[in-house]
């Protein structure tokens, strides 16, 4: 079978199984052409993304040759290093200055934006910063209530409007209110949207424009929130979001579940932006800084 045929056959099985198969490959596999092909396949099916998987295996071939590695088991650590290196993009983390630091959270429905907004608010509060949350998801009344509860728990302020109002107007209000109140960090929640819905992506562009008009240079951080269970279409998602509002970093949520989040390898390889945080639960303190080496090791564990 060629690669495409094997991929098709493989797709019938569960995605998670593929990364698990790696373990077997490393332990039992001999270091031959078949090993490299199986590895490539397992990485692609584990949602690492086709291009990233090809790149990684190509590097691995070269490295094993260069280091004169003889057995498959020794390649695991090399692959961990490669993935960690791929994920170790330098992160710009602007600090609040005279003007508030403006952070915008974007992503598809249910990825964890609202929870992440609250967790980030909590992090900045722990650093002693004054934080204002913005209820930029005006689609559902429940979304505004959800953020209100989080704001109270995190000790942050909240700017909201009536359900159905223009989210750009909420951000406009928030930026003006922040100046009057001496706020350090503004964290904007937005409605979940499918990346293929053109009008919703236009709305995101408008939010971005309005923020930049009221406070030139803002938003300073645009974080794309990705559920760790996202499959290979995560790469397309990320491209569309990045086209609408230039993404500065990724947040990988729900890593406390069974998924390993292989998708961020492919996404960050395409967008060239770092993974900034990982979500590991539903509580306020369940947001951790990303550690590329730990993540790479866990991905292949």
Ligand X SMILES: Nc1nc2c(ncn2[C@@H]2O[C@H](COP(=O)(O)OP(=O)(O)OP(=O)(O)O)[C@@H](O)[C@H]2O)c(=O)[nH]1
Which residues would be at the binding site for ligand X (CB under 6 A)? 107, 109-115, 137, 143, 192, 253-254, 256-257, 279-282, 286
- Choose which of 75, 114, 168, 208 interacts with Mg ion (CB under 5 A): 114
Residue nearest to ligand X (CB): 192
Q: Check binding of 38 to Mg ion (CB under 5 A).
A: no
Q: Which C-beta is closer to ligand X: that of 108 or that of 214?
A: 108
Report what 109 binds from Mg ion, ligand X, none; CB cut-off 5-8 Å by kind. Answer: ligand X
* Least CB distance to ligand X at residue 237 (A): 13
Q: Candidates 10-18, 46-54, 77-85, 107-115: pick the segment binding Mg ion (CB under 5 A).
A: 107-115
d(CA 299, CA 76): 11
Residue 129 phi/psi, 5-degree rounding, is -85, 150
* Least CB distance to ligand X at residue 252 (A): 8
Report what 178 binds from ligand X, Mg ion, none; CB cut-off 5-8 Å by kind. Answer: none
d(CA 118, CA 121): 5
Q: Which residue has the tokens 């230039």?
A: 246
DSSP letters spanning 14-71 = -SHHHHHHHHHHHHH-BSSHHHHHHHHHHHHHTTS-HHHHHHHHHHHHHHHHHTT--B
Report what 279 binds from ligand X, Mg ion, none; CB cut-off 5-8 Å by kind. Answer: ligand X
The beta-carbon contacts of 145-154 under 8 Å, at least 24 apart in sequence, are 146/114, 147/114, 147/117, 147/118, 147/189, 150/114, 150/115, 150/117, 150/118, 150/121, 150/284, 151/118, 151/121, 153/118, 153/122, 153/284, 154/118, 154/119, 154/121, 154/122, 154/125, 154/284
Q: Check binding of 115 to Mg ion (CB under 5 A).
A: no
* Least CB distance to ligand X at residue 65 (A): 40
d(CA 97, CA 223): 19
d(CA 230, CA 109): 12
* Least CB distance to ligand X at residue 282 (A): 4
Report what 112 binds from Mg ion, ligand X, none; CB cut-off 5-8 Å by kind. Answer: ligand X
* Least CB distance to Mg ion at residue 148 (A): 12
Q: Which C-beta is closer to Mg ion: that of 7 or that of 139?
A: 139
* Least CB distance to ligand X at residue 127 (A): 21
Residue 12 in tokens: 């019938």
Q: Which residues bind Mg ion (CB under 5 A)?
A: 113-114
């Amino acid at each position: 079978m060629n690669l495409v045929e094997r991929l098709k056959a493989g797709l019938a099985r569960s995605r998670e199984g593929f990364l698990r198969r790696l373990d077997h490959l490393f332990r039992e596999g001999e270091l031959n052409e078949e090993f490299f092909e199986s590895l490539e396949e397992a990485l692609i099916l584990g949602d690492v993304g086709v291009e990233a998987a090809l790149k990684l295996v190509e590097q691995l071939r070269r490295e094993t040759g260069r280091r004169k590695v003889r057995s498959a088991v020794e390649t695991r650590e090399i692959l961990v290093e490669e993935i960690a290196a791929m994920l170790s993009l330098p992160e710009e983390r602007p600090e609040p200055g005279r003007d508030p630091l403006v952070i915008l959270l974007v992503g598809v429905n249910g990825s964890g934006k609202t929870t992440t907004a609250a967790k980030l608010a909590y992090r900045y509060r722990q650093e002693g910063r004054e934080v204002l949350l913005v209820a930029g998801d005006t689609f559902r009344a429940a979304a505004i209530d959800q953020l209100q509860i989080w704001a109270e728990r995190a000790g942050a302020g909240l700017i909201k409007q009536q359900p159905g109002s223009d989210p750009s107007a909420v951000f406009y209000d928030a930026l003006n209110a922040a100046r009057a109140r001496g706020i350090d960090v503004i964290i904007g929640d937005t409605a979940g949207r499918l990346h293929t819905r053109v009008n919703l992506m236009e709305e995101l562009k408008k939010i971005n424009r309005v923020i930049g008009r009221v406070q030139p240079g803002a938003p300073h951080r645009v974080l794309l929130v990705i559920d760790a269970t996202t499959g290979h279409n995560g790469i397309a998602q990320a491209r569309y979001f990045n086209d609408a509002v230039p993404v500065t970093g990724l947040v990988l949520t729900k890593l406390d579940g069974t998924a390993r989040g292989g998708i961020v390898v492919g996404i960050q390889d395409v967008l060239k932006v770092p993974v900034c945080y990982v979500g590991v639960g539903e509580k306020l303190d369940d947001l951790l800084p990303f550690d590329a080496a730990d993540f790479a090791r866990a991905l292949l564990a």
